[in-house]
Amino acid sequence: MSDGLVQILDGNTFVVSDSRGDIEASSTDPTGLFSFDTRFLSTWILTVNGERLNPLSVDDLQYFETRFFLVPGMGTVYVDAKLSVIRERAVGDGFHEELTILNHDEEPVELTVRMEAASDFADLFEVKDALEKKGRYSTRAEKGQLLLGYERDTYRRLTTISASAPAKVDEKGLTFSVGIEPHGEWTTDLDVVTAAGASGRYVRPKYGRGQKGARPNMGRSLERWLQDAPRLESDSDSLKATYRRSLVDLAALRFSPPVAGRGTSLPAAGLPWFMTMFGRDSIFTSLQALPFTPELAATTLLALGDWQGSRVDDFRDEDPGRILHEMRYGELTAFEERPHSPYYGAADATPLYVILLDEYERWSGDRQLVRKFERKARAALNWIDEYADLQGNGYISYQRRNEQTGLENQCWKDSWDSISYRDGRIPGFPRATCELQGYAYDAKRRGARLAREIWNDSAYADQLERQAADLKRRFNRDFWVEDGQYFALALDHEGKQVDALSSNNGHLLWSGIVDKSKAKAIAGHLLGPRLFSGWGVRTLAEGEGRYNPIGYHVGTVWPFDTSFIAWGLRRYGFKQEAAVLAAGILDAAEVFEGRLPEAFGGYERGVTKYPVQYPTACSPQAWSTGAPLLLVRTMLGLEPIGDHLVVDPALPESVGLLALLDIPGRWGRVDAFARGRSQLEEPARRARMRHRLA
């Protein structure tokens, strides 16, 4: 987010304003009150006696409430305000704002307080793409309320604004005539309520009116959420702060899809553009959070399973068994001007679904859920062979069938130029990126375990194991770049190697598809100066044709990416190297005050001394929020083995003592303890030396 913008959110609803609390949205910026992909408020401007106010400070009370301290205009460096204004705002299916004006003078004052209000009811895609509306607006003042409406055929949206104090309501806002005694105050409650659907059904607000300091009833409170998570103790105050920030942001990003049960939620992808269900993002975040908040994984499996593909639909890139990429609820989706109802254009979410199902059972012991989703998992595994092998070579490939609005790249690096050869050329389609094959291998291995141990189908388990072994053998032959000693980013439409060196190699370690004889070379690249910036692993190696340290997927560092790479290094026994990556990302988190953004610049650490912000990165963003959690798991070496939790720690020395208490799982609640050892400094020292020499 840009400097000066303030955001508060409650899963399905969020508000982005300036530092005064005002909303003055243009056609292409993400300020406003949004709910389920529609902007219900695009103007919300406070004036006193016709003048805008100036901010003194903003207090982020919780992720869902903020307090703004304001004064009338400041024209000089000397401030002698006789009035001050406090706006306390809480989000929850609309928002509640308590407006208070304090008179600090010895004389009474008469004021005209005005709140301008309007809504463009823009679909989030319209905001991003600056598209024009096709429906009809309505505005009316009725019974002390301002009603803002939008209608296109049966698609209807409504915003209702009201106040507790007497106000003159017109079609552009509310006006209050206010008298305040010396050293007195005046207060009103303002409620903004949203409604959706053909019937104009109101969404019941989560707050109560007229209560001093009212805060939303958030269902399961933040305090309970934090109490249920394991408690982290460490010599590192920075790590403790980052851990708490991650848990709070994960709570903020909880999204309740309509298909989920009451009170259940899964991780939305990120603010401001992606506050909805994303298959890949929700799965990765649920994996990261499993040792801390396992209920997110259960809801993710439920919601994605309910929307699993059932037919061949080129408009939505849907196939039977395929797991969705993205679900949207706005106008363009309703009228099929976008395919997101849902859109299935992801080649990785389907094998990842099986991986999450297995990992969830390994932690929770919830065999009932695994039995319930057996048909879903089998359909996902079938999709890998039946629909994803576009070239008939036994590899998952992708090529969009919706040429107008579908995604070109259907892997996690989904920007247009993310897949390239060493010299920067872009391959044709279909494309088989390397990490997709790793996910397929892991899904088959995990599916075999579920089949043998829970579904009582040993023949199917044997089949999946044979397929996985064959895939691993072929992959290590076809993707291996012999002259570079790493795996190619992809195979192109002719089966030739797309030979750029990328961070995807780390995902291969995580999946287990890499031959042990090749793992040391891969670890060397991941910790080498071309990929490791000192803060994290670059998405594309320095020196590649398209390398750009601030290119979205061609040189930036993604914290989520590095967290899974560290997990992969642990899988192959590179504990100390994983600790080095963990230290880099956690150092970056300290600079970002505990909240890791979606991505940051891939500049060499010794050059910048701090991680360079990526200008349009989502923050908070789910899998970046989950990255510190996965790194804690990785540093402690937490692995469920049967009914026991194995702890095999390897910490950076800077962390010192690390204790994670009351870790939930099939074992009940257990504790894990570790201390950073001096010998772990050696790989970090060697890595720094390589950077200096380079």
| Residue 189 near residue 209, CB atoms below 8 Å | yes
Mean pLDDT on 259-280: 72
Q: Which residue from 359, 374, 565, 366 is spatially nearest to 442, judged by alpha carbons?
A: 359
Higher pLDDT, 216 or 371: 371
When mean pLDDT is compared across 196-210, 235-249, 486-500, the lowest value belongs to 196-210
Q: If residue 121 lies in a helix (H) or strand (E), which one and from where to where?
A: none
pLDDT at 256: 76
DSSP state of 228: H
Q: Where exactly does CATH 1.50.10.10 map onto the chain? A: 275-500
Mean pLDDT on 168-197: 94
| Residue 447 near residue 354, CB atoms below 8 Å | yes
Both tokens of residue 145? 């309320």
Mean pLDDT on 27-51: 89
Mean pLDDT of the chain: 89
Residue 142 sits at φ, ψ, to 5 deg, of -150, 120
pLDDT at 261: 52
| Residue 571 near residue 530, CB atoms below 8 Å | no
Mean pLDDT on 484-504: 97
pLDDT at 210: 42
Cα distance between residue 109 and residue 84, in whole Å: 13
* Residue 681 confidence (pLDDT) above 70: no
Cα distance between residue 254 and residue 285, in whole Å: 11
pLDDT at 690: 47
Peptide bond preceding 430 in cis form (omega within 30 of 0): yes
Q: How far is CA 615 from each of CA 1, 467, 605, 612, 618, rounded to the nearest angstrom?
A: 8, 44, 18, 9, 9
* Residue 682 confidence (pLDDT) above 60: no
Residue 486 sits at φ, ψ, to 5 deg, of -155, 175
pLDDT at 574: 98
Radius of gyration of the chain from its Cα atoms, rounded to whole angstroms: 26
Cα distance between residue 576 and residue 483, in whole Å: 27
What percentage of residues in the chain have a pLDDT greater than 90? 72
In this prediction, residue 2 has a pLDDT band, given cuts at 50, 70 and 90, of: very low
Higher pLDDT, 524 or 270: 524
Q: Which CATH class is domain 275-500?
A: mainly alpha
pLDDT at 353: 98
| Fold that domain 5-202 belongs to in CATH | Beta-galactosidase; Chain A, domain 5 (2.70.98)
* Residue 212 confidence (pLDDT) above 60: no
Mean pLDDT on 569-590: 97
| Residue 383 near residue 320, CB atoms below 8 Å | yes
Mean pLDDT on 246-258: 84
Mean pLDDT on 619-640: 95
Q: If residue 69 lies in a helix (H) or strand (E), which one and from where to where?
A: strand 65-71
End-to-end alpha carbon distance in the chain? 34
In this prediction, residue 116 has a pLDDT band, given cuts at 50, 70 and 90, of: very high
Q: Where exactly does CATH 2.70.98.40 map onto the chain? A: 5-202
Q: Give 80-114 pLDDT, tens digit per residue.
A: 688 999 999 998 778 999 999 999 999 999 999 99
Q: Give 379-417 pLDDT, tens digit per residue.
A: 999 999 999 999 999 999 999 999 988 999 999 999 999
What percentage of residues in the chain have a pLDDT greater than 70? 90
* Residue 1 confidence (pLDDT) above 50: no
* Residue 199 confidence (pLDDT) above 50: no
In this prediction, residue 533 has a pLDDT band, given cuts at 50, 70 and 90, of: very high
pLDDT at 213: 40
pLDDT at 676: 77
In this prediction, residue 270 has a pLDDT band, given cuts at 50, 70 and 90, of: confident
In this prediction, residue 205 has a pLDDT band, given cuts at 50, 70 and 90, of: very low
| Residue 349 near residue 143, CB atoms below 8 Å | no
Compute the 3-state secondary structure of the chain and give helix, strand, coil in percent, each to the nearest 5: 30, 25, 40
pLDDT at 80: 60
Higher pLDDT, 224 or 634: 634
Mean pLDDT on 22-34: 84
Cα distance between residue 420 and residue 489, in whole Å: 8
Mean pLDDT on 571-576: 97
Residue 111 sits at φ, ψ, to 5 deg, of -130, 150
Beta bridge partners of 480: 487
pLDDT at 620: 84
Length of the chain: 694
| Residue 647 near residue 658, CB atoms below 8 Å | no
| Residue 645 near residue 639, CB atoms below 8 Å | yes
